């Protein structure tokens, strides 16, 4: 791969397909588990030579499922790009629904309430799927999690390793008590003309819907990866053992950048990206698969 230098920087956007979804990965190298150790080492120390090891299926067609909704839809990532004035205008005087229940969703709900201060009848609806994972059981005596149906239903260590621990703004539950934050729990929901409809036939009217639905890295990888690789990432509590926190020695020519971080860590991801780039450029050789597994 030849990368062009643009004003002293490597121009990478020409090699990136935006608005695309990876729906399947197919391994075109060795297929038997008994062959993985030897072949994985071969591919890792000879990257990008010969036939590609991975074939990627990508869906690029736009979905029409959102067009029925008359309001505005955006993702929390797009919301973060707004300046303070634009964000306030988005919320002010509007009926807002935030889909999600973790850190970004909680912060968005609080911002919505602040922007609508004094606007009668404009509560912010927080749509949650399943039980929330905000805090563990030892916090139940300090926070009204049972009152709002936010009690988690899994072990404390799972929250930590799955990056799901959240600090709640001090005004969050106070605004809920005032009726400025409304909670809706549903296993399924879909858009309708006036807002969101739920599987219990209830409907929430909304002018703006913000998607803060989180990210389940283990689930997404398991859906994409074929066997036997899918079984290799089934570690307890969502942790996958990686050499240099970047590669699984038995999964050839695939790097996981940012996968093991407990919080967003751009610098660590940048360093690992540089490490992978040097590996691809054959600036150094990896140890044997056996040694990498032992160190991992």
pLDDT in tens, 20-53: 888 888 887 654 444 554 566 666 776 666 666 7
Q: Specify which of 24-28, 79-83, 166-170 reaches the highest per-range mean pLDDT.
A: 79-83
Question: What pLDDT sits at residue 277?
Answer: 92
88 or 210, which is more confident?
210
Alpha helix locations (H) across 59-193? 76-80, 84-91, 103-115, 156-161, 172-177
For the chain, the structural domain boundaries read 3-61+217-294, 72-211
pTM: 0.52
Predicted confidence band of residue 114 (pLDDT cuts 50, 70, 90): confident
Q: How far is CA 134 from the centre of its chain?
A: 16
CATH architecture, range 72-211: 3-Layer(bba) Sandwich (3.50)
Residue 281, pLDDT above cutoff 70 = yes
Residue 164, pLDDT above cutoff 60 = no
Question: What pLDDT sits at residue 145?
Answer: 54
């Amino acid at each position: 791969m030849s990368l062009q230098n643009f004003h002293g920087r490597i121009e990478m956007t020409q090699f990136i397909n935006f608005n695309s979804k990876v729906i399947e990965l197919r391994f075109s190298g060795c297929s038997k588990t008994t062959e993985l150790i030897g072949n994985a080492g071969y591919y890792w120390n000879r990257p990008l030579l010969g036939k590609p090891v991975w074939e990627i299926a990508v869906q690029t067609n736009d979905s029409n499922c959102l067009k029925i909704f008359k309001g505005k839809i955006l993702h929390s990532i797009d919301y973060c790009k707004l300046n303070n004035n634009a964000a306030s205008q988005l919320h002010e005087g509007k009926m807002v629904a935030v889909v999600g229940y973790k850190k970004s969703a909680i912060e968005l709900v609080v911002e919505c309430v602040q922007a609508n201060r004094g606007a009668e009848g404009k509560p912010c609806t927080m749509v949650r799927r399943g039980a929330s994972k905000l805090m563990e059981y030892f916090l139940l005596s300090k926070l009204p999690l049972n009152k709002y149906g936010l009690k988690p239903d899994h072990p404390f260590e799972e929250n930590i390793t799955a990056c799901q621990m959240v600090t709640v703004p001090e005004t969050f539950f106070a605004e809920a008590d005032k009726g400025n934050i409304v909670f809706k729990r549903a296993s399924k929901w879909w858009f309708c003309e006036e807002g969101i409809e739920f599987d219990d036939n209830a409907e929430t009217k909304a002018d703006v819907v913000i998607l803060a639905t989180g990210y389940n890295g283990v689930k997404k990888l398991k859906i994409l990866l074929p066997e036997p690789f899918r079984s290799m990432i089934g570690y307890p509590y969502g942790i996958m053992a990686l050499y240099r926190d970047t590669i699984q020695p038995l999964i050839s020519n695939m790097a996981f950048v940012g996968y093991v971080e407990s919080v967003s860590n751009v610098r660590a991801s940048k360093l690992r990206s540089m490490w992978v780039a040097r590996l691809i450029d054959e600036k150094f050789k990896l140890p044997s698969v056996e040694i990498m597994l032992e160190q991992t």
